[in-house]
Structure 1
Amino acid sequence: MSSEVSSALRVLKEYSGIKTKIPASETEKIELQKSLLSVIHEADYCNVGICASSYDEGFSALQNYLKAFDYVLDISRHEVDGDEPIYIKFNGEKLSHTVSDYSGEYRGVLITIFSDVNDSILGTYGHLPLSLFD
């Protein structure tokens, strides 16, 4: 494993846990973005889980994360009540997503990394900030 990937994993682990940790500065935000993108580019694919307070917040986060990950696809928006908490799961292998009601308290983004060649990056990271790539 390269030192860049090792460093990126260290940063991601600092931001992983039940409570979403918000970067304290723009410099820390950029470091987290670069770390996540470094690991994403080593992966075969990833799944993205988003726990959001509203439909708009959730889909905005999903679109911003997928754009940052270089996914070029149109995410169709489901007809759901815009003011209710939702969970969105994006499957990076199938390039599909599901939306469901969410009654939990957590807010943020979970990224699950899959790789057939690099076991060191496998895992789930987050809850990352919904606005990381705004």
Structure 2
Amino acid sequence: MSVQNSQNLSLDSALKLLKTLSCTDSLTVTTAGDRQQLAQALLLVVNASEYQNIGICADSVEQALTALVDYLTTFEYPLPGDLTPVPMQTPVYLKFNSQKMTYYLDTYTGDYRGVLVSCQSSENESLNGTYGHFPLDLFASV
């Protein structure tokens, strides 16, 4: 991933960056600058949209819940009170709906690991879309 200075990233620039990087098989963030710009772009789009759905594919329930907490904290959402790991010994898919503040958890048989964020806006349709695949730990150090 090659990115430019993120100091003055506009919403349009953020959307272009996210659309360019979305739906790739694997998004590798190799530098701190890339991570910072990707995080900033996603946060700009999330803050401009009305609500989001977050899809997480992880190796374990614990890993999925950790990613969810990191993303929700960064997006300034309250954490659901029922984030208790359930015993599952397989990879999992977790889907979170920020409009209802609920999540769904199930087993996952695919190879992908990461996060998809689907943004919705009735006021600015250019924001509507699914972005990612983002690293599980994109916001771990934010």
TM-score by length of 1: 0.92
In structure 2, what is the Cα distance between the partners aligned to 1:129 and 1:13? 16
2:17 maps to 11
Structure 2 gaps, min length 5: 1-8
Whether contact under 8 Å (2:69, 2:79) holds in the other structure is no
Q: Which of 64, 73, 80 is equivalent to 2:70? A: 64
Cα displacement string for residues 15-45 of structure 1 (whole angstroms, at most 9, x for unaligned residues):
2124221212001100000000000010000
Q: Which has the higher contact order (CA 8 A, sep 6+)?
A: 1
Aligned residues: 131
Q: TM-score, normalised by structure 2?
A: 0.87
- Taking only the aligned residue pairs, the percentage that are identical comes to 37
Distance 1:80 1:19 in 2: 29
Q: Would you say the 8 A contact 2:65–2:85 is kept in 1?
A: no
Which of 27, 35, 54 lines up with 2:33 in the alignment? 27
Structure 1 moving runs of 4+ over 3 Å: none
- Partner of residue 119, structure 2: 113
Q: Please, which runs of 5 or more residues in structure 1 have no aligned partner?
A: none
Q: CA deviation at 1:89?
A: 0.3
2:80 equivalent to 1:80: no
Please provide the CA RMSD for this pair.
1.4
Q: Is the CA contact 2:52–2:117 (under 8 Å) kept in the aligned structure 1?
A: yes
